[in-house]
C-alpha cells in the first residue's frame, strides 16, 4: 500500500500548506490504523482529533496533545521511541522547523515499518 501522505513539511506561516498538510497527515495516521487493524489478531487504535486545529493557542495545544497520544500508541508497535511532539511552541519559527523535521523523519520510518511507503 503506497502512502497518500506526500507533504511532510510546509513553510512557517504557510496557512494553505498547513491546511493541506493537516488533511494528508490525518489520512496517513488512518493508514497506520488500517494496517494494524488488518493484522491477526487485529490491533485496534483509536482515532484522535487531528484533522483540524481550532481555537488559537489552546486549540494548538489540544491538537499537539492528541497527536502525541496517537504517536505514543504507534511507537511500541513499530519498536521505536521518539520525541515529545506535544512539547513545542509552533509560533516560534525555529521550534516549528525542528518539530517538522523530527516529525517528518518519524513518519518516514513509520511508513516503512507499516508498509505504506
- Overall residue count recorded for the chain in this entry: 117
What's the pLDDT score for residue 18?
A: 83
What's the pLDDT score for residue 1?
A: 46
* pLDDT band of 7, cuts 50, 70, 90: low
Q: Name the CA dihedral angle for 68, 94, 13, 24, rounded to a multiple of 10 degrees.
A: -30
Per-residue cell: 68: 502525541
**What's the whole-model pTM score?**
0.91
Q: What is the dihedral sign for C-alpha 14, 16, 22, 27?
A: negative
Q: What is the pLDDT of residues 23-71, one digit of tens each?
A: 999 999 999 999 999 999 999 999 999 999 988 899 999 999 999 999 9
CA distance 92 to 48: 25
Q: What is the pLDDT of residues 70-95, one digit of tens each?
A: 999 999 999 999 999 999 999 999 99
Say how many CA atoms lie within 13 Å of 25 toward its Cβ: 25
Cα angle 30, 28, 95; round to 5: 125
Each domain of the chain, given as residue ranges in start order, spans 15-113
CA distance 71 to 97: 19
Amino acid at each position: 500500500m503506497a502512502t497518500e501522505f506526500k507533504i511532510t513539511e510546509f513553510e512557517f506561516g504557510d496557512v494553505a500548506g498547513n491546511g493541506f498538510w493537516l488533511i494528508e497527515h490525518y489520512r496517513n495516521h488512518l493508514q497506520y490504523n488500517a494496517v494494524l487493524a488488518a493484522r491477526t489478531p487485529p490491533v485496534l487504535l483509536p482515532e484522535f482529533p487531528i484533522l483540524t486545529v481550532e481555537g488559537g493557542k489552546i486549540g494548538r495545544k489540544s491538537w499537539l496533545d492528541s497527536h502525541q497520544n496517537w504517536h505514543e500508541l504507534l511507537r511500541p508497535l513499530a519498536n521505536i521511541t521518539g520525541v515529545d511532539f506535544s512539547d513545542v511552541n509552533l509560533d516560534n519559527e525555529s521550534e516549528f522547523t525542528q518539530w517538522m523535521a523530527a516529525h517528518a523523519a518519524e513518519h518516514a520510518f513509520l511508513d516503512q515499518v507499516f508498509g505504506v511507503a
